[in-house]
């Protein structure tokens, strides 16, 4: 039972990361029906920005987190304007290929900029362990990851449901042409969606840096793919689904690792993807008619 509870704690921490990245996938898909495979690499850029702020500038955790989120929000808008806006009316396969090209550009551009070597993230948050029942342990880093994730998710829900730009996002998600006829600036709304999704991915990158203490230019590939699985699991295009899918995937991975099958922790994510596509293609929160953001 102790192993189960310990892995549950570890899985919630890991799932928080997947959930933050998955939100970017699901928001963009909900608005423009695009799977942005460069999203995992925005997460990687966010981790390096956090590394730069803490290791070079000597900033503490919170300012580094905010810097990373702001810069990646701008990066997300630039990517959308340069790579995806010209393809707005092109076949989906063209946008998909472009997304893969942007992903490779970010990966190898960062490799050229900072070299391929693994960087050790500074100890901005010295690890403190807290003992719970029996031998159960939770660290201050895990608590911070969960608190930051919940805070960002609540902020996202507030933006989507209570602000003008959030209402515009929901309108564009339901019917882009009708929203435009009602005076909503669709281009601005799409850019805002990319900015918010990229900022959340950047936050996940910094949190991974402080948790695992190591980053590299290719670190966004596997978490990006797993976050996509999480988004599909919950229901692509549905925000609560992305959150739930991220946490579920993190917990399943932790359980697989905790019970001695760590070699299968990566394949299990894609087995889940295959099963969900066969059994419930719309995802856990999906319906016969795709629900919108």
Confidence of residue 290 (pLDDT cuts 50, 70, 90): very low
Q: Is the pLDDT of residue 59 over 90?
A: yes
pLDDT for the residue 14:
94
Whole-angstrom CA distances from 179 to 158, 189, 218, 238 are 21, 10, 39, 19
Ramachandran category for residue 85: left, alpha or beta (phi over 0 → left; psi -120 to 50 → alpha): alpha
Q: Euclidean distance between the first and final Cα of the chain, in Å? A: 38
Is residue 43 within 8 Å of 21, Cβ to Cβ?
Answer: yes
Helix spans in the chain (H): 2-32, 39-51, 61-79, 92-114, 140-162, 164-174, 176-181, 186-212, 221-234, 239-258, 265-279
Average pLDDT over residues 278-284: 89
- 10-57 tens-digit pLDDT: 999 999 999 999 999 999 998 888 889 999 999 999 999 999 999 999
Is residue 80 within 8 Å of 186, Cβ to Cβ?
Answer: no
- 194-247 tens-digit pLDDT: 999 999 999 999 999 999 889 999 999 999 999 999 999 999 888 999 999 999
pLDDT for the residue 292:
45
CA–CA dist 233, 227 (Å, integer):
9
pLDDT for the residue 135:
81
Helix (H) or strand (E) holding 129: strand 129-131
Burial class (CB in 10 A: 0-12, 13-18, 19+), 55: middle
CA–CA dist 264, 211 (Å, integer):
22
DSSP 163: S
Confidence of residue 291 (pLDDT cuts 50, 70, 90): very low
What 3-state class would DSSP assign to 139? strand
Between strands 214-215 and 119-120, the pairing is antiparallel
Helix (H) or strand (E) holding 200: helix 186-212
pLDDT for the residue 136:
87
- 96-150 tens-digit pLDDT: 999 999 999 999 999 999 999 999 998 888 888 888 877 888 999 999 999 999 9
CA–CA dist 28, 245 (Å, integer):
16
Mean pLDDT for the chain?
91
Ramachandran category for residue 286: left, alpha or beta (phi over 0 → left; psi -120 to 50 → alpha): beta
* pTM given for the model: 0.92
Average pLDDT over residues 175-204: 93
Q: Nearest CA to 37 among 292, 231, 279?
A: 231
What does R_g of the chain's alpha carbons equal in angstroms?
19
Q: Is the pLDDT of residue 154 over 90?
A: yes
């Amino acid at each position: 039972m102790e192993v189960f509870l310990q892995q549950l704690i570890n899985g919630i921490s890991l799932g928080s990361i997947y959930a933050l990245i998955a939100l970017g996938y699901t928001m963009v898909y909900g608005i423009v029906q695009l799977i942005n495979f460069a999203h995992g690499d925005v997460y990687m850029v966010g981790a390096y920005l956090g590394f730069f702020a803490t290791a070079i500038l000597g900033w503490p955790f919170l300012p580094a987190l905010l810097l990373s989120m702001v810069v990646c929000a701008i990066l997300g808008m630039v990517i959308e304007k340069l790579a995806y806006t010209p393809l707005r009316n092109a076949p989906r396969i063209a946008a998909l290929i472009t997304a893969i090209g942007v992903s490779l550009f970010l990966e190898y551009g960062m490799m050229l900029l900072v070299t391929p070597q693994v960087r050790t993230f500074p100890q901005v948050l010295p690890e403190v362990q807290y003992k719970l029942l029996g031998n159960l342990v939770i660290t201050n880093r895990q608590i911070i990851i969960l608190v930051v994730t919940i805070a960002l998710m609540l902020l996202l829900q507030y933006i989507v449901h209570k602000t003008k730009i959030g209402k515009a996002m929901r309108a564009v998600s339901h019917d882009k042409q009708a929203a435009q006829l009602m005076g909503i600036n669709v281009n601005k709304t799409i850019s805002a969606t990319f900015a918010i999704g990229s900022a959340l991915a950047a936050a996940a990158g910094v949190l991974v840096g402080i948790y695992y203490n190591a980053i590299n230019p290719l670190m966004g590939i596997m978490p990006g793919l797993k976050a996509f699985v999480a988004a599909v699991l919950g229901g692509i295009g549905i925000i609560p689904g992305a959150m739930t899918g991220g946490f579920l995937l993190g917990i399943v991975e932790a359980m697989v690792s905790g019970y001695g099958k760590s070699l299968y922790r990566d394949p299990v994510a894609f087995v889940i993807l295959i099963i969900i596509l066969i059994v419930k293609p719309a995802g856990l929160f999906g319906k016969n008619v795709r629900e919108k953001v």
